[in-house]
Amino acid sequence: MTISIVSSSPDVLGGVPVFVGTRVPIQSLIDHLEAGQSIDDFLAGFPTVSKKQVIDFLETARDKIIAMDRD
């Protein structure tokens, strides 16, 4: 079973990738982390996103990058 983490639809923020079930862009998480903020800081500002969603996204990104290295 595949769990959806990211959604993209022209009807939601013009197709910008968001966390499933929210209108929170994935880019917002990346921007927060790049600025040195913690996941908890991000979650405080975006209460519709769960910590599980953030962790699942980061783990999936990690796995895809590691898989690219093996190719």
Under the banding of pLDDT at 50, 70 and 90, the label for residue 1 is very low
Distance linking the first and last C-alpha atoms of the chain: 24
- pLDDT tens track for 15-58: 999 999 999 999 999 999 999 999 999 999 999 999 999 999 99
The model carries a pTM of: 0.85
Closest CA to 48 of 18, 15, 71: 18
- Can you give the pLDDT at residue 25? 97
CA distance 71 to 30: 25
- CB-count burial class (<10 Å; 0-12, 13-18, 19+) for 53: buried
Among 8-12, 28-32, 33-37, 66-70, the range scoring the smallest mean pLDDT is: 66-70
